[in-house]
Structure 1
Amino acid sequence: MSSGRAMVDGRFELLEPLGSGGMGTVWRAYDIALHREVALKEVRAEGDTGSAQGDTGSAEQQRERVLREARALARITHPNVVAIHHIVDTPAEKHPWIVMELVAGGSLADKLAEGPMPPAHAAWVGRGILAGLRAAHAVGVLHRDVKPPNVLLRTDGSPVLTDFGIAAVNDLTGLTSTGSVVGSLPYVAPERLQGHEGNPASDLWSLGLVLFAAVEGYQPMRRDTDVATLAAVLMGSVPPPRQAGPLTPVLNALLVPNPGHRPPADQVDRMLAQVTGENPAEPPAFHQLSGPNRTVTAPREFLATPPPRPYSPQPPPQGFHAPLAYPPIPPDPVTDAPQRNSRPWIFAGGAVVLVAAAVAAIALWPSSSDGQGGAGQPPGRAQPSGIALPSGVIPPTVIAPTTAKSAATVDLLTPDGMRTAVAALEKVAGGKQFTETTIYPEYVITGAPVPNEPKHYDKFTYRNGAATHDGIGGRLTDPTIDLSSVNWDILPTLLATAAEQLKVPNPTSRYIIVDTAGTFTNGQQVLRVYLSTAYGDGGYVSAALDGTILRVYAK
């Protein structure tokens, strides 16, 4: 071709920039050898012309980031992760280039700029993002920068994860100094700011914030200043969603500050599938390949772009207590930056420690001597006082310690295990009614109505012999259940029936959901027993509260 446009490696003709940020530019380009359009990622080194930032690292670090991203992408073959074709790293070029597939539908940030998504649409996109993350995690790659600009959309709307430039790869040396954290601040998981890396649950936290932004129309952790945002992330307290509808349980499960309390990816996928109405035992339709361009099919109702629905902040529900009052942050609250490849934040360990110490002081501040909690708070939930916080930061709820058993952890999928857990949860929650509850062998996740505020609920966990209050949940829309009224003596028989009916060889995951809304049973409250393997084989058995088997769903 003789258009006079710039060429890379004598083969790739640069057509137009697709997005630019502090770490470089992504170009639409034409491969003159294979006669196809591709995406070329250029990463500018410090001091290059056009670089607006001088703190993105040395030239060698920038080169290594390019190679790191190429290595990370090369490990992953999945339709929801951008494919790498080639890498240009020759003396003739000032810096390396990554040649990737061209995803032509823009980014999720572009899509959300038109307005929030309906919950089912967001859940459908979320299943695709989650599938890409699971594929990456399976080969030892953590993304560490999941946010709307880093999710591209095909022309049918299906998502593609990109920008693995700061990914953590199991056998590759880190690129940041000891004690530093890399990522986009409003989407970074709290544990990463405390120096805990290498946990796939951190990517799930970021996914939860992407889904929150998709349905609510704003990023809940952003504040007026970086310091205030940092403090908000460290506290990990997310305001309750108001427009998420059936996606609310997914957000509440993912956006838990303790990474050990977040559900595993396979359960998150099942929860998202319930929101979309898809079969939870089957992958989303767009996971199937069809041709060299990996064409996929979205549900028909998602192909038409809904009319823009600008975010309109609503006042907090009357009587609902802190930490609900998070102010919306206009303008452009969803997109972390208008560029496709916006500059990640790099935090020095010392700064993180200082803010962590301040937040820790807040969390450990003793309650008032009269022994009374805040208004509407049951015994054991006290509010800190006397602490001056940065503007826009709401203090977290301080949880009074509970008595923990010193004995070894008991299997909670047993009658005695659940009776003990329910008694502890009732004591901390200050009541007997609970929301949908998920029971794992090691811990229980549930919610309970707020005393004197029956239209709202808080989140609770039971683990290692202790029940804890994990923070606010949101508006209560589904029926509740008295967990002590469940005949837990049926558990051994129910688990044996599930094993016999589902025929899952050597299940690696087993858990029970107490479905208070009767999602698949016309409103009848049931117990659903799930068994699955690491490869996704499995299913569930649904039973009435007296143990009567209602449905068996095996893949």
Structure 2
Amino acid sequence: MIAEDTVLSDRYRIVSVLGRGGMGRVYEAVDLERDERVAVKVLRTAEPRDLRRFASESKVLAQLDHHAIVRMLGTGQHGDTPYLVMQLVGGRSLADELRDGPLDPDQVRRIGRDVADALAYAHRRDVVHRDVKPGNVLIGEDGSAHLADFGIARLADVTGFTSTGVTMGTAAYLAPEQARGGGVGPPADVYALGLVLLEALTGEKAFSGTPTEAAVARLSRDPAIPDRLDDGWRQLLRRLTARDPQARPSAEDVASLLEQEPSAAALDTVALPPGDGDTTTELPSPTTPQRPGRVRRVLPGLVLTVIAVVAVAVVLWALPPDQTRPQPQEPATTAPAAELPQPLEDSLNRLDQEVSG
């Protein structure tokens, strides 16, 4: 931890700690050259993985100049520890706001419009955020929203998708394709935005339970959208959280739709990207009762469910520990593939023996 009044690079005087997360701490500081307050993100560790992510964030943020994206103002190094200097956004995060309960629909609309506009800007530059969540949405004192922490964003390749087999993001807001560890593109950000808006309107996360339970649930069903919401909101949220990425509107379309209160008529004018329709396969319910004499028919469904649970467990096990315990607003980090946790491996071995026997 850096002490108050420490001056970094003879320019940035540390004032106080704003927050801490998986990568390090964020401080409020004063830029002595410009006489203005800034945010300084200092890496907590010097692990190669963190350094790579830090370098990635610097590269991405340097390209982005948008009113709803937290601006990067500079970089530096304090001893052996690198840091980013960023725009200081007054106010609170959306996560802080939601601790007091759901928000007014018009406020949610304006926040959603700003975040969608920021995502559309990033997507046009082949940047996928991949960690859209309430803790990364900062609400300014004037009510405007700013999208922060592009630390796990990766420049999309020429196909517009990140490489498969690498899962990054916060477990509660992963898109189904992220939970599967598959290719991730702009639609994953749109899905996460849908979950964020739904949570802002209801005050509750869309999928409850442990990270593994929540991730498995999103593979087999859509989030529950309360009937008490206006029809326009319900239809918009269904589109944003469609399990098929091709069935989701673009961030640009979402920003346009949220210029005014969502309506079914406006949604009908939104063209979907070309695709093969909803190709998501329904997973059989693991709680379906097994009838006598139907073992051969039920067993394949059980195996498919177990495979899905294992796949999600591996994905979530590869996330850092702070993503699988209740420590709110910890930024996600990338972890290398890991072996299955021993309890899960033992359970699967027992299941295999029971099925074989």
Q: TM-score, normalised by structure 1?
A: 0.46
Aligned equivalent of 2:252: 266
Compared with structure 1, are the counterparts of its residues 177 and 133 closer, same or farther at alpha carbon in structure 2 (3 Å cutoff)? closer
Is the helix fraction higher in 1 or 2? 2
Aligned equivalent of 1:240: 225
Aligned equivalent of 1:80: 68
The yes-or-no answer on 1:98 pairing with 2:84 is yes
Residue aligned with 2:236, SS: helix
Residue aligned with 1:275, SS: coil
The yes-or-no answer on 1:251 pairing with 2:240 is no
Distance 2:73 2:252 in 1: 30
Distance 2:18 2:12 in 1: 15
Is the strand fraction higher in 1 or 2? 1
* CA-CA distance at 1:178 after TM superposition: 7.2
* CA-CA distance at 1:350 after TM superposition: 7.4
Compared with structure 1, are the counterparts of its residues 10 and 160 closer, same or farther at alpha carbon in structure 2 (3 Å cutoff)? same
* CA-CA distance at 1:95 after TM superposition: 1.4
Distance 2:335 2:176 in 1: 15
Aligned equivalent of 1:20: 20
* CA-CA distance at 1:33 after TM superposition: 1.4
Aligned equivalent of 1:142: 128
* CA-CA distance at 1:347 after TM superposition: 8.2
Distance 1:191 1:350 in 2: 21
Distance 1:188 1:96 in 2: 29
- 1:71 is aligned, of 59, 72, 85, to 59
> Structure 2 stretches of 5 or more lacking a match?
267-284, 286-325, 345-357
- Percent identical across equivalent pairs? 34
Counterparts of residues 224-373 of structure 1 (less than 5 Å): 225-245=210-230, 246-275=232-261, 337-339=327-329, 341-344=330-333, 348=337
Q: TM-score, normalised by structure 2?
A: 0.71
> 8 Å contact 1:69–1:166 — kept in the other structure?
yes
Aligned equivalent of 1:60: 48
Size of the alignment, in residue pairs? 277
Counterparts of residues 371-450 of structure 1 (less than 5 Å): none
> 8 Å contact 1:22–1:342 — kept in the other structure?
yes
* CA-CA distance at 1:274 after TM superposition: 3.4
The yes-or-no answer on 1:43 pairing with 2:43 is yes
> 8 Å contact 1:121–1:276 — kept in the other structure?
no
**Structure label with greater radius of gyration:** 1
Distance 1:116 1:73 in 2: 31
Q: Deviations over 1:171-230 (max 9, x none)?
A: 69xxx997231110110100122233341011000000000000011111231x232122
- 2:197 is aligned, of 191, 196, 211, to 211
The yes-or-no answer on 1:222 pairing with 2:228 is no
Distance 1:37 1:195 in 2: 40
Distance 1:210 1:118 in 2: 14
Letter in 2 for 1:104: G
Aligned equivalent of 2:320: none
Distance 1:213 1:12 in 2: 37
Letter in 2 for 1:64: R
Residue aligned with 2:103, SS: coil
* CA-CA distance at 1:60 after TM superposition: 2.0
> 8 Å contact 2:130–2:153 — kept in the other structure?
yes
Compared with structure 1, are the counterparts of its residues 171 and 67 closer, same or farther at alpha carbon in structure 2 (3 Å cutoff)? farther
Distance 2:152 2:52 in 1: 10
Residue aligned with 2:165, SS: coil
Deviating 4+ runs (over 3 angstroms) = 336-339, 341-351
Residue aligned with 1:260, SS: helix
> 8 Å contact 2:206–2:223 — kept in the other structure?
yes
Distance 1:4 1:84 in 2: 22
> 8 Å contact 1:126–1:211 — kept in the other structure?
yes
